[in-house]
Amino acid sequence: MVWVPGGEFTMGGDDVFSRADEKPLHRVRVSGFFMDATEVTVAQFRALVDATGYVTTAEKPVDWEDLRKQLPEGTPKPDDAMLGPGSLVFVAPSSPVELNDASRWWVWTPGASWRHPLGPDSTPRDDEPVVQVSWDDAVAYATWAGKRLPTEAEWEFAARGGVDRAVHPWGDELPESGAPKANTWQGHFPDLNTARDGFAAIAPVKSFAPNGYGLFDMAGNVWEWCSDWYRPDTYARDARNEVTVDPKGPESSFDPQEPTVPKRVQRGGSFLCHDSYCASYRCAARMKTSPDTALSHSGFRCVVSVPNQR
């Protein structure tokens, strides 16, 4: 872990790619904390499983009674074959597709899990970030390790690497300019990745230079779970304060796009991020995902608070 000294910063985004839930800009102060230098790796997550026998969300059958609570009333029960253990896997379409239908590149894959992130025939490297982990799985690991998930404010402060208004963890330069700075999508999303950065999918941790705090992959590679519930108006509420100190996020979730689905915040983008689609390799970019969802580009890192100490 590396020490993030804490301080005051301007939270949120106002660049050309910023979305409505990244606004308004507001002042936030966070206390110092330790943060994992990298995303939690496959080898590190295996230590939890070996020590405790932990079974992840993707390795369990889908509980229809839990799932139906998140769906519109009257939604019919899927075939039992769709309710077995598995998860969603990114599969590039063979030709360009409209970007308003993510089902064109996300495929439900039986047997996909942290052990087999792309399906039963796939095996991850030990030094890759663990993926196919839900928010619940991330919390289980953090608790076992004596750590916790970062708040959204802590994550954004750490991502900026000591530069108050940095757009990206490496600065303001666009990811396509100059040498590769993070593991993102190059080419035409979602059908053609030229892999100019050296990776068509997940990269081992520490494949790119760290930011100013010594943190690796704070942009791209895999999305990272935060502790906060998601609401699009969180920043509007915090902006009422002159400075918001150590915000923990709202007490409950609401996403007007899916009002029946509670969601947690994810940060940092992934190897699928491209400026034509999500541009979420920015420090301020926010994503919202239901806590029982595991995906082939979702991982996490942990933090530890040590009050008044370094």
**DSSP output for 113-153:** SSSSTTSTT----TTSBP-S--HHHHHHHHHHTT-BPPPHH
Residue 282 near residue 103, CB atoms below 8 Å: no
Rounded CA gap, 269 and 160, in Å? 14
pLDDT value at residue 68: 79
Rounded CA gap, 28 and 241, in Å? 9
User: pLDDT tens digits for 64-123?
Assistant: 878 877 777 888 888 877 788 999 999 999 999 999 999 999 999 999 999 999 999 999
Residue 296 in tokens:
């082939």
Residue 251 near residue 136, CB atoms below 8 Å: no
**pLDDT mean for each 10 residues of the chain (310 residues):** 96 94 97 97 98 97 81 82 90 94 94 97 97 98 97 98 94 88 96 95 97 98 98 97 97 95 97 93 97 97 78
pLDDT value at residue 140: 98
Residue 12 near residue 24, CB atoms below 8 Å: yes
| Residue listed under structure tokens 């390790």 | 145
Question: Burial of 208 by CB count in 10 Å (0-12 exposed, 13-18 middle, 19+ buried)?
Answer: buried
Helical (H) or strand (E) element with 159: helix 152-159
pLDDT value at residue 310: 47
What are the φ/ψ torsions at residue 110 (nearest 5 degrees)? -60, 135
pLDDT value at residue 66: 80
Residue 92 near residue 105, CB atoms below 8 Å: yes
User: pLDDT tens digits for 12-31?
Assistant: 999 999 999 999 999 999 99
Q: Based on the structure, what is the number of domains in the chain?
A: 1
pLDDT value at residue 164: 92
* CA-closest candidate to residue 162, choices 4, 1, 2: 4
Which domain range does residue 310 map to? 1-310
Name the pTM for this structure: 0.94
Rounded CA gap, 177 and 186, in Å? 11
Report H helices in 160-289: 234-238
* Sheet strands (E) in the chain: 2-4, 7-11, 26-30, 33-35, 86-90, 106-110, 187-188, 192-193, 223-229, 244-245, 264-267, 286-289, 298-299, 303-304
> For residue 72, what is the domain's CATH number?
3.90.1580.10
Rounded CA gap, 303 and 294, in Å? 21
What are the φ/ψ torsions at residue 216 (nearest 5 degrees)? -95, 145
